[in-house]
Structure 1
């Protein structure tokens, strides 16, 4: 190739670099959105009735918005819908965490659980209940 041909190819590559970057961003955003849609649907299905009705409705609404955006929206529209869905999914997680926190917790009365394993052959408990891990070898 001649020097002029090489310079022309470099110019064209620079000219289309921004366009290529936008296309890559659009594809990555769409793939991420489709993945989040799948994960959210799966999570809602697995959790079933554990999800409070109002929270579930909000998540499903944002899920629909994201599906519509993926079907025909701009990259920015998809990003906005994705962020909105992620916010609602975070609220979903918080509501489930609060539900778990309000119920009785095993061992909550301060009693130690004696069913767990004690120190193993290479472990000794030190002062304050800390576990000290030690290995030894038999020199005989």
Structure 2
């Protein structure tokens, strides 16, 4: 049995690699389609067409049962998805450019003060001061 396992080890490794690659590619397809759906109209049409074209190419690579073809199509899709992210990021502007949520000046200040009581123990107290 050990000799038989050694004899088929290479074949088993190739099968495992093929299955892992297909699973990974399936995950990439799902995530990309989800991202396209979530971004909707924020994606420029030209970039969206590229992504959809690469998605189709990757889905077609599943049918040819070539692990290398799937890997190549997945790499191409990942490159185009990076372009998608860059185009959406450049449209929305740099993060932190606007006011941060909850930072509006409401006329209230919040603070923590440490006060010693009569026994010398320190007591932490939170308070909010309204103006």
Task: Name the TM-score class by shorter chain.
Answer: 0.7 to 0.9
Any stretches of 5+ residues in structure 2 without a counterpart? 115-120, 124-131
- TM-aligned CA deviation for residue 70 of structure 1: 1.3
Is the counterpart of residue 101 in structure 1 residue 93 in structure 2? yes
**TM-score (norm. length: structure 2):** 0.75
Residue number in structure 2 paired with 1:21: 13
RMSD between superposed Cα atoms in Å: 2.9
Higher percent of residues as strand? 2
Counterpart selection for 1:85 from 77, 83, 103? 77
Query: Cα 1:118–1:31, aligned 2, differ >3 Å: closer, same or farther?
Result: farther
Instruction: Spell out the pairing of 1:11-50 with structure 2 (5 A cutoff).
Output: 11-50=3-42
Alignment partners' CA distance in 1, 2:25 and 2:68: 12
Structure 1 length-normalised TM: 0.70
Q: Distance in 2 between matches of 1:120 and 1:21?
A: 61
1:11–1:38 Cα change, 3 Å: same
